[in-house]
């Protein structure tokens, strides 16, 4: 089955700096790569996703890049703010098959220092 590795496990940045979180996946058939943000005691919430026919996607301060050849994808947050502090999870799945369940990375705890 799919295996998703995520690094780093913790990341501390100064407000206004950029943050980068990286993930690798093992199943070359995976074609959908979402990123979720989870605040303490809350449910995971989708912040951005990318499909395998696209190399990069941006949404305001957030961007995701995908390298299918290397089987890795990254989340980039620019101009970080204290409210960006949370745990971020990457995930992968193949949504063309009957099994669309996501396989998650182990998470990155991002702390933005004011």
Name the residue nearer to other proteins (CB basis): 18 or 106: 106
What spatial distance separates the first Cα and last Cα of the chain, rounded to whole Å? Answer: 41
Instruction: Measure the CA angle with vertex 44, ends 82 and 17; round to 5°.
Output: 25
Name the residue nearer to other proteins (CB basis): 6 or 80: 6
Q: Which of 52, 107, 110, 112 binds other proteins (CB under 8 A)?
A: 107
Q: Which of 25, 33, 73, 104 binds other proteins (CB under 8 A)?
A: 104
Segment interacting with other proteins (CB under 8 A) among 58-66, 68-76, 77-85, 97-105: 97-105
102 binds other proteins (CB under 8 A): yes
SS3 11: strand
CB of 85 to other proteins, least distance (A): 16
95 binds other proteins (CB under 8 A): yes
Give the CA dihedral 88, 93, 96, 100, nearest 10 degrees: -90
Which residue, chain included where needed, has tokens 């193949």? 94
CA atoms within 13 A on the CB side of 4: 23
SS3 40: coil
Site for other proteins in 37-56 (CB under 8 A): 42-46, 49
Judged by the rule CB under 8 A, the positions of this chain that interact with other proteins are 1, 6, 32, 34, 42-46, 49, 89, 95, 98-107
């Amino acid at each position: 089955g799919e295996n998703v590795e995520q690094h780093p496990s913790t990341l501390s940045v100064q407000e206004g700096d950029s943050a980068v979180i990286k993930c690798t996946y093992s199943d070359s058939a995976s074609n959908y790569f979402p990123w979720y943000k989870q605040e303490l005691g809350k449910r995971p919430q989708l912040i951005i996703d990318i499909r395998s026919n696209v190399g990069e996607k941006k949404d305001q301060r957030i961007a995701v890049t995908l390298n299918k050849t290397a089987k890795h994808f990254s989340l980039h947050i620019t101009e970080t703010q204290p409210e960006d502090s949370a745990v971020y999870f990457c995930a992968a799945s193949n949504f063309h098959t009957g099994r669309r369940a996501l396989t998650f990375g182990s998470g990155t705890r991002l702390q933005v220092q004011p």
